[in-house]
Amino acid sequence: MKQADQKYMAVKHALAAVADRERAVPMAAYMRNQFAFYGIPAAVRRQAYKEDIKAFKRAPAIDYDFLDRCYTDSHREMQYFVIDALAGVQRRLTPEDVPRIEPYLRHKQWWDTIDGLDKIVGRIGLNASAFRPKIEAIMRDWARDDNFWMRRVAIDHQRGMKAQTNPELLAEVIVMNLGSDEFFINKAIGWSLREYSKTDPDWVRNFLDHHRSQMAHLSVSEASKYL
């Protein structure tokens, strides 16, 4: 058995050992029954694979073969493991890691994994000054992607960056997506503006003043929450 497969089986066994079939039913239903679940609460799940995360972080190189194996598993908790593992090595990531992470964004897509991975990719731009232009170029491309989940990543990737947010980029990727009738895009627009309003409310007010007529009611409502 390959090392990646051995590590994958270790995580899978750790999660299966604390599975809760009764809890798995409503968890799957909450995600519209698109994915199988072991039925494990987040805190219990993270405790179950804590040692696997520690080992992953200690390794000299990021084992993407192992992560790929985990991400293809049918249970949603295995995708959550990949997100937690990448978060654990986030400061080591560079723009060269994006092509290895992008398949996770493009497969088994739903808001839970998208919203976990977007911040990881976005924060690569904060790891070194030379990285940011490269990440921003990727986000501009993704903001035009045919796949609306990738556009959501571009809109929300600066979420929580506060004063490190690039407002020009935020405006650019949002404007590219105005007029959409996709709920998850309009929600993302409002969410990203709402988060930035905690840092620069005047900027968000000005953006709304200029673009309100083009924005969905949902986006305006979300963006205005703290104004």
The model's pLDDT over 110-120, given as tens digits with 9 standing for 90+, comes to 999 999 999 99
**What are the phi and psi torsion angles at 75 (to 5°)?**
-85, 135
Question: What is the overall mean pLDDT for the chain?
Answer: 98
The arithmetic mean of pLDDT across residues 180-194, rounded, is 99
* pLDDT number for residue 213: 97
Length of the chain: 227
**How much of the chain exceeds pLDDT 90, in percent?**
100
> How far is it, in rounded angstroms, from Cα 189 to Cα 192?
5
The arithmetic mean of pLDDT across residues 141-151, rounded, is 99
Walk me through the domains of the chain, giving residue ranges and CATH numbers: 1-92 (1.25.10.90), 101-227 (1.25.10.90)
pTM greater than 0.85 (yes/no): yes
> How far is it, in rounded angstroms, from Cα 61 to Cα 38?
29
Residue 147: its H or E element: none
**What are the phi and psi torsion angles at 162 (to 5°)?**
55, -125
* pLDDT number for residue 176: 98
pLDDT score of 1 more than 90: no
| Beta strands per DSSP E along the chain | none
* pLDDT number for residue 200: 99
Q: Is residue 210 exposed (0-12), middle (13-18) or buried (19+ Cβ within 10 Å)? A: exposed
